[in-house]
């Protein structure tokens, strides 16, 4: 859009909506810069409510391209309080912020065990997020006495001192937290649900991400791999989360490559908990 600089935010959003909303023949994906601009207008309150809701729904039904996801991440990170803990091999657990309804949250406890074994871990999320409004990892950590409301400097210090930290969205990305009412009104999972799992605002090298829909895995892996993660494991776990079920084998996909690069090797894995001596907790878990 060569005339973006001369147009108003209102007209810019109208243009973006026309570009993505004209169907598979006439419409097109936005490039990375345009995607960042569009989400920036929404997060900065310069798009109208109708434009913001329309954009999120059109992206959901069109499907985000990798370039669009990276643009959305750019806008997210530009408004985030970034940290860079002085630790080696930090693992980012990208658990869906809307939590889970039917199963126990295992990754919070697992993160504590992993940190105690010497591998630093960062988790992130927010309370009572839609559309599921389930139990997120932060609620479990809070019940265990871990601070889940720390400012960025305090969280970085906790990771460096104890190997474990939790980033609450309200503290780290207040502009996105402020959009929670919009997300609630849309009533469906939006692009933010993906972006907040791969934004890597703690400069981690490794990532584990839960995913509900396997056809989306390639975009997720490519976008996460291009966003500073050296190794990414995408898991189709319980309720679309990162926790591996004990009742059935689970498919997972490991991407390894240079961070910030387009190249990377992806390996499909089958993880069977019974091979590790774990018995099924229930038919669903």
Supply the CATH number for residue 42's domain. 1.20.970
Write down the pLDDT at residue 170: 98
Instruction: Please tell me the total count of domains within the chain.
Output: 2
Which tokens sit at 256? 């390894």
- Residue corresponding to tokens 């780290």: 172
Residue 81 lies in a domain: no
The reply to whether 142 and 191 lie within a common domain is yes
Residue 141 lies in a domain: yes
Which of 14, 48, 63 is the last residue in one of the domains? Answer: 63
Write down the pLDDT at residue 23: 84
Which tokens sit at 232? 């990414």
pLDDT in 10s for each residue of the chain, 285 residues: 545 555 899 999 999 999 999 988 788 999 999 999 999 999 999 999 999 999 999 999 999 999 999 999 999 999 999 999 999 999 999 999 999 998 889 999 999 999 999 999 999 999 999 999 999 999 999 999 999 999 999 999 999 999 999 999 999 999 999 999 999 999 999 999 999 999 999 999 999 999 888 888 999 999 998 888 999 999 988 888 899 888 889 999 999 976 665 567 899 999 999 998 888 876 666
Distances from the Cα of 170 to the Cαs of 39, 52, 111, 133, 218, in angstroms? 18, 20, 22, 16, 29
Dihedral angle, C-alpha 85, 194, 172, 56, nearest 10 °: 160
Write down the pLDDT at residue 261: 56
Please give the Cα distance from 37 to 159 (Å, whole number).
32
The reply to whether 129 and 57 lie within a common domain is no
Q: Which domain holds residue 42?
A: 4-63
Which tokens sit at 101? 């309804």
The reply to whether 139 and 187 lie within a common domain is yes
Distances from the Cα of 87 to the Cαs of 118, 171, 200, 205, in angstroms? 11, 22, 15, 10
Dihedral angle, C-alpha 215, 129, 238, 111, nearest 10 °: 110
The reply to whether 181 and 44 lie within a common domain is no
């Amino acid at each position: 859009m060569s005339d973006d600089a001369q147009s108003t935010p209102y007209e810019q959003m109208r243009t973006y909506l026309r570009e993505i909303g004209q169907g598979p023949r006439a419409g097109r994906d936005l490039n990375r810069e345009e995607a960042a601009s569009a989400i920036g207008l929404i997060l900065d309150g310069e798009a109208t409510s109708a434009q913001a809701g329309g954009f999120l729904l059109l992206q959901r039904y069109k499907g985000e391209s990798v370039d669009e996801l990276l643009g959305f991440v750019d806008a997210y990170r530009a408004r985030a309080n970034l940290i860079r803990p002085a630790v080696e091999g930090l693992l980012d657990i990208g658990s869906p912020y809307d939590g889970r309804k039917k199963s126990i949250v295992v990754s919070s406890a697992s993160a504590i065990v992993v940190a105690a074994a010497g591998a630093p871990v960062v988790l992130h999320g927010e309370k009572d997020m839609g559309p599921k409004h389930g139990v997120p990892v932060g609620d479990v950590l809070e019940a265990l006495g871990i601070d889940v409301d720390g400012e960025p400097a305090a969280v970085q210090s906790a990771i460096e001192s104890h190997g474990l930290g939790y980033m609450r969205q309200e503290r780290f990305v207040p502009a996105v937290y402020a959009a929670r009412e919009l997300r609630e009104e849309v009533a469906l999972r939006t692009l933010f649900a993906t972006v907040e799992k791969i934004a890597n605002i703690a400069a981690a090298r490794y990532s584990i991400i839960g995913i509900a829909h396997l056809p989306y895995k390639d975009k997720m892996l490519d976008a996460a791999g291009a966003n500073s993660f050296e190794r990414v494991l995408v898991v189709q776990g319980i309720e679309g989360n990162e926790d591996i079920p004990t009742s059935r084998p689970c498919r997972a996909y490991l991407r390894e490559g240079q961070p910030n690069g387009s190249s990377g090797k992806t390996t499909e894995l089958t993880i069977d908990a019974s091979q590790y001596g774990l018995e099924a907790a229930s038919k669903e878990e």
